[in-house]
Structure 1
Amino acid sequence: MAAFDAAIAAGYGIECDVRASRDGVAFVFHDAILTRMAGRDEAVAALDAVALDGVPLPDGGAIPRLSALLARCGGRVPLLVEIKAEGRHVRSVCAAVARDLSRWPDAPVAVMSFNPWAMRWFVKQQVGQVRGLVVTQQGKGRIRGGIARALALWLSKPDFLACDIRDLPSRLSRRARAGRLPVLTWTVRSAADRARAAIHADQSIFERGHD
């Protein structure tokens, strides 16, 4: 939460990763397993919300609920919610995110995911919610990767793309911008990344203010 508070104070938009607890509550957490951040070999999805509330992080704080982050932002800064979900099992986390967002109907919030099925859930269930597809070409073959991306675009019908900075410029990003589909890029960490993003993307997702 300290990082989010610093971003809000500086007027920066925020990007966060979200997973669902066993009982369908949205928590701001990147990893599927608690090991790296909390030293516990348990999955986020295996614990209920009350149990997750009691898991301490290295800074002494707790794992934030998405509802708490939304309240902290108070609609003052844009928020990008990246939904973490595997395969087609997306209903729990998508419904949890949608429920929290419904309490802030006028806040500048968009959802995005690597998982096109998560974005398709919003296409079907939350008409009008701004959504994006997160993409990377790293470690993927040209033909197989191209087919997977085409299918993902068809399923998710995104309002924007969030492209890996290492891929830019790419055929996908050029075609998107030519078709007036905004392109965000992640994760910008250096002056070289900033220069690349300025030419080939419409907005960047970075880690620190000086990035």
Structure 2
Amino acid sequence: MSTDESTQHPYLAGRARPRIIAHRGFVSSELAAIGVAENTRAAFTAALAAGADCLETDCRLTRDGVVVLAHDADLTRVANDSRAIAQVDLAELDEIFAARGGLLTLERALTEFPRAHWNVDVKSRAVAAPLGRAVAPHGARVLVTSFSDAYRRAALAAAAAEPRATLPATSPGKRALVRVLLAVASGAPRVIERAFAGLDALQIPERHGRFRVLTPRLIAAARAHGVEVHVWTVNDGQRMRELLAMGVDGVVTDRTDVAVAALRSR
């Protein structure tokens, strides 16, 4: 659809598009009713069963230094516990999540779902290096991203330093994305080429406030440089189809079921 697969990172090459990227897994109304939380074993199992191509998640570091899958810095929203994840040991987190779908460490996720492709968001400076070391043996099926380019680059550097590592794919943080947007606006080929260098995907919202991030010009520039465009977070089937018609390569969604129905039954 958009890129030359011979030059793509293994995370993307040879796999069908459009990409359906399950945002923190998939928690259906039925799973929510029995207390299953996002970013859990049950949520990712459900996403794959529903037809997701990739599993999007976030990583935090526990008090005893283990990388776990969790979006928020604290447990308030998912477990009604005000403590920060960084204040809790892995064993206690396992107990907390036992009735909420099952806690996954990053290493558990990569081994328990050996065929899954993971889209991993680095949520803090502390987790960057251990995250990078954990994904290094699995880099062919991992994409590393973060709002912070410093965190993202630290994770990639840690992965690259591991023996026999495969460097993960990557998507830009805020500053790198701004450079891409400014480069595309400039129309200068060398500036655009430098801005896209080292990127495998642009994972972006359609808008940031009043500013439209996703444009036909950006999609065309990404396509010309072998970079995929994935839009987040899209839960309406009709809008998914419209984005696909614009040329995007995938959607990040809370509704894997809706995405499969909208994009696979065409």
TM range (shorter): 0.7 to 0.9
* Residues 88-144 of structure 1: per-residue CA shift (max 9 Å, x gap): xx2x31222223224x437511111111011211443333221112559xxxxxxxx
Q: In the TM superposition, what is the alpha-carbon distance from 1:55 to its structure 2 partner? A: 2.0
For residue 81 of structure 1, the aligned residue among 95, 99, 120 is 120
Instruction: Structure 2: give runs of 5+ residues left out of the alignment.
Output: 1-40, 161-166, 183-193, 208-212, 260-266
| Equivalent-residue separation in structure 2 for 1:134 and 1:146 (angstroms) | 9
* Residues 142-191 of structure 1: per-residue CA shift (max 9 Å, x gap): xxx947976xx97x943221011344227655533333322111112002
For residue 181 of structure 1, the aligned residue among 203, 219, 227 is 227
| Equivalent-residue separation in structure 2 for 1:148 and 1:169 (angstroms) | 12
Instruction: Structure 1: give runs of 5+ residues left out of the alignment.
Output: 137-144
For residue 56 of structure 1, the aligned residue among 69, 88, 97 is 97
Q: Which moved more, 1:8-17 or 1:34-43?
A: 8-17
For residue 116 of structure 1, the aligned residue among 143, 146, 149 is 149
Aligned 8 A contact 1:135 1:162 in 2:
no
* Residues 38-62 of structure 1: per-residue CA shift (max 9 Å, x gap): 11111112223233223237x5334
| One-letter amino acid matched to 1:192 | Q
| One-letter amino acid matched to 1:29 | A
Aligned 8 A contact 1:22 1:48 in 2:
yes
Where do 1:1-211 residues align within 5 Å? 1-12=41-52, 13-56=54-97, 59-74=99-114, 76-85=115-124, 90=125, 92-102=126-136, 104-105=137-138, 108-127=141-160, 128-134=167-173, 146=178, 157-166=198-207, 167-169=213-215, 172-198=218-244, 199-208=246-255, 209-211=257-259
Q: In the TM superposition, what is the alpha-carbon distance from 1:4 to its structure 2 partner? A: 0.9
Aligned 8 A contact 2:59 2:121 in 1:
yes
Q: CA RMSD in A?
A: 3.1
Identity of aligned residues (%): 30
| Equivalent-residue separation in structure 1 for 2:179 and 2:206 (angstroms) | 21
Q: In the TM superposition, what is the alpha-carbon distance from 1:193 to its structure 2 partner? A: 2.5
Higher relative contact order at CA 8 Å, sep ≥6: structure 1 or structure 2? 2
Q: Kindly tell me the number of residue pairs found equivalent between the two proteins.
A: 193
